[in-house]
Structure 1
Amino acid sequence: MPRRRVLITGASKGIGRAAADRLAASGHDPIGVARTAPPDFPGQFYEADLSDRGATAELLDDIVAGSGVDAVVNNVSYQRFSHIGSVDLDDLFTTYDMNIRVAVQVVQAVLPGMIEAGRGRIVNLSSLVTQGVAERTPYAAAKAALEACTRVWAGELASHGITVNAVAPGPIETETYRGFSPTGSDRETRALDIIPLHRVGTPAEAAHLICMLLDEDAGYITGQIVRVDGGGSISAA
């Protein structure tokens, strides 16, 4: 596969970082974006607050003005948990903004270059919660919207040789997951009760699927929501 430049949002840790490490090990050039830069990222890294629409636009202009972008992993996210009776409306709109607006803004920035090249890969990060998981209204709604965007963009961009797919992980061993679901907590127990493999996944397992969809030989896969959830989607609803 030719060497590719892959833009990854939320790349400093977790799934985004695992994808960057895997891409770099395969000879590609990951371009990371997150609020705080890690000390040893395996490629170019841009510190940016993606909640700032103007700063995001400036950042993307700088990245695209370089050597272009061949692929995108829309991984940055924001989530808050609460029952429908106590959903904070600010959280609702912030979750939508970070999961949808950022993805749209990133794709719009890189799209001219991909169209000119006649090829491209876009992978959006969704979640098992779209299948129906309690206390996830803002996050599940935003990720369901991102899955809809995935299908729409796949149809719109297919004629340009650009594929668009989504990866939907179940619970993954990340700092964010542990912040909400400490080891041995009731919340984790409830989560694992719907996972047939009865364990939390690893960032590397999610990154494996992401990188598969970025591969040159994945050119006949588009508009798909591919799940890496230990079987959780079988019984999540």
Structure 2
Amino acid sequence: MSHEYSQQDVAVVTGGARNIGQAIALRLQQDGYRVLVLDIVEPEVDSLQADAYQVDLADAEATRQIVADIAERYPVTRLINNVGIVAPALLEEATLEDFDKLMQLNVRSALICTQALLPAMKAQGRGRIVMNASRVVLGKEARTIYSATKGALQSMARTWALELAEHGITVNCVAPGPIATSAFWQNNPPDSERARRIIDNIPLQRMGQPEDVAQAVSFFCDERSGFITGQTLYVCGGVTVG
């Protein structure tokens, strides 16, 4: 570890038990942070289990209680608002149930967690908040609700970047393109025509890995990235350029 345990910076990762969230949590551990994972399931990886909190982040009250407890116990300086579900549907098939569910999980949890952990960051005069947005903020079929939630995160990040700058707290977004997660392969089976078409359209000619997103999050979390705020970094293999 890079610093003494008592002085270790503490990072909170929502949805950190699986996929991209897990890769982010593991990378931040490598970077020397003590990482607290908030997720509805228990982490599979041993190193994340000791500091894991099992909570349904779509449940406002449960989330509020957990982060209030964390805020009391740890002076958190890094918050990764990563949790999210997709619920793909064409416009005509999009349901209000899914709208409410995704807004509560993907967006409201970010607001609750940030509000709870902000006082400690302000008190220390430093902090890093990173939102996991998505390339879909630029448009993608069958993503009406999902893209709405990711666009909301991006807009909140810009607002927070302005409000929190004077406190030495930066707020940025990573926006992954096609990343090889279980959710991706569920929506695009590996041998399907759709999956092949997606990979063919990536200039770097490969799927992104969760670790690629974790690399961008690590960069934003670094103490040396303090002059970068309100930004969105696309981790997309070049998809957003063409």
List aligned pairs for 1:1-237, cutoff 5 A. Answer: 3-39=8-44, 40-42=46-48, 44-235=51-242
> 3-state DSSP class of the match of 1:233?
coil
Superposed displacement of residue 187, structure 1: 2.8
Question: Contact 1:12–1:41 at 8 Å: present in 2 too?
Answer: no
Q: Structure 1: which 4+ aligned runs deviate by more than 4 Å?
A: none
**Alpha-carbon displacement from aligned partner over 1:143-182 (angstroms, at most 9, x marks no partner):** 0111111111000100000000000001111111111111
Take 2:220 and 2:31, find their aligned partners in 1: how far apart are those partners?
Answer: 14
CA RMSD of aligned residues (A): 1.4
Superposed displacement of residue 192, structure 1: 2.7
Question: Contact 1:127–1:170 at 8 Å: present in 2 too?
Answer: yes
Question: Contact 1:8–1:33 at 8 Å: present in 2 too?
Answer: yes
Take 2:239 and 2:22, find their aligned partners in 1: how far apart are those partners?
Answer: 24
Take 1:213 and 1:31, find their aligned partners in 2: how far apart are those partners?
Answer: 18
Structure 1 unaligned blocks of 5 or more: none
Take 2:99 and 2:192, find their aligned partners in 1: how far apart are those partners?
Answer: 25
Take 2:92 and 2:194, find their aligned partners in 1: how far apart are those partners?
Answer: 18
Identity %: 38
TM-score, structure 1 normalization: 0.95
Structure 2 unaligned blocks of 5 or more: none
**Alpha-carbon displacement from aligned partner over 1:83-125 (angstroms, at most 9, x marks no partner):** 1121112112211221110100100000111111111000000
Q: Give the total of aligned pairs.
A: 235
> 3-state DSSP class of the match of 2:83?
coil
